[in-house]
Amino acid sequence: AQSVAQPEDQVNVAEGNPLTVKCTYSVSGNPYLFWYVQYPNRGLQFLLKYITGDNLVKGSYGFEAEFNKSQTSFHLKKPSALVSDSALYFCAVRASLQTGANNLFFGTGTRLTVIP
Amino acid sequence: EAGVAQSPRYKIIEKRQSVAFWCNPISGHATLYWYQQILGQGPKLLIQFQNNGVVDDSQLPKDRFSAERLKGVDSTLKIQPAKLEDSAVYLCASSSGSQETQYFGPGTRLLVL
């Protein structure tokens, strides 16, 4: 069975400080991992993904994420937070061995608040 | 490039009524998905289409939910009859292939009273 855990419902960080949003996953075989962001009354926007290769993945708006296979984690990071980064962040996983169906399993989301 | 379009954006109905949602995917995207996002939860896949064929509908409550993508482009999701627990945001997504990144529309927020 595939699953994603986002252990923090809420993360607060001061503007200009580094931010981390945590994600751990469980999947059979090698994972495909994704981060999406959701602003109020908007759909999910794709930020970045890990498929294979370099464990450090760079994405949109200065975000990056590090894949750690031994810890089954894929934490989202940004060196310097902006107030405009305040939103709801979702981590998602699918199994690379999954053929045909492209079923993403999402975490419950982490609300990031950047304090001016 | 235009994104995934959905309508209506909001809908309020009474229980036991029927409702339909519409989705237009990104041009050229063969794969289309419908997700249900209940408040406080992550999205859950309801159904995945590849062109006009169903790839996965294992999570679709088929006694009341139905979806179609007759010409392999637009799709409609219907609920009949609606229950209180169907109150959620219904998200449509599309991807260029069944293994590719999914891009989401703005969603339809449904409230069942």
Mean pLDDT of A26-33: 88
- pLDDT string in tens for chain B (113-residue length): 679 999 999 999 999 999 999 999 999 999 999 999 999 899 999 999 998 899 989 899 999 999 999 888 999 999 999 999 999 999 999 999 877 889 999 999 999 99
CB contact under 8 A, A106 and B103: no
Say whether pLDDT at A102 is over 80: no
CB contact under 8 A, B106 and A34: no
The β-bridge relationship of strands A10-14 and A110-115 is parallel
Closest residue of A to B56, CA-based? A101
Token couple for A43 = 């759909």
pLDDT tier, A27 (very low <50, low <70, confident <90, very high otherwise): confident
- Quote the CA–CA distance of B91 and A12 in Å, as a whole number: 27
Type of residue at B8: P
Burial classification of residue A4, based on how many CB atoms lie within 10 Å of its CB (0-12 exposed, 13-18 middle, 19 or more buried):
buried
Please report residues of A whose CB lies closer than 8 A to that of B40: 108-109
- Give residue ranges of A with CB < 8 Å to any B CB: 4, 34, 36, 41-46, 49, 90, 92, 100-109
Token couple for B105 = 């529309």
pLDDT the model gives residue A53: 87
- With an 8 Å Cβ cutoff, is B29 touching chain A? no
Closest residue of B to A37, CA-based? B104
CB contact under 8 A, B102 and A104: yes
pLDDT per residue as tens digits for the range A84-97: 999 999 999 987 66
Whether the CB-CB separation of A9 and A89 falls below 8 Å is answered with no
Q: Single out the residue of B38, B11, B1, B9 nearest to residue B111, CA to CA.
A: B11
Calculate what percentage of chain B has a pLDDT beyond 90: 83
CB contact under 8 A, A109 and B56: no
Query: Which DSSP category does A61 fall into?
Result: G
CB contact under 8 A, B43 and A106: yes
pLDDT per residue as tens digits for the range B74-87: 999 999 999 999 99
- With an 8 Å Cβ cutoff, is B99 touching chain A? yes
Dihedrals phi, psi of A112, to nearest 5 degrees: -100, 130
Please report residues of B whose CB lies closer than 8 A to that of A107: 42
Say whether pLDDT at A12 is over 70: yes
Please report residues of B whose CB lies closer than 8 A to that of A110: none
Q: Single out the residue of A25, A32, A114, A6 nearest to residue B40, CA to CA.
A: A6
Q: Single out the residue of A15, A68, A19, A60 nearest to residue A36, CA to CA.
A: A60
pLDDT tier, A99 (very low <50, low <70, confident <90, very high otherwise): low
CB contact under 8 A, B100 and A102: yes
Beta carbons within 8 Å of A84's beta carbon, 6+ residues apart: A114
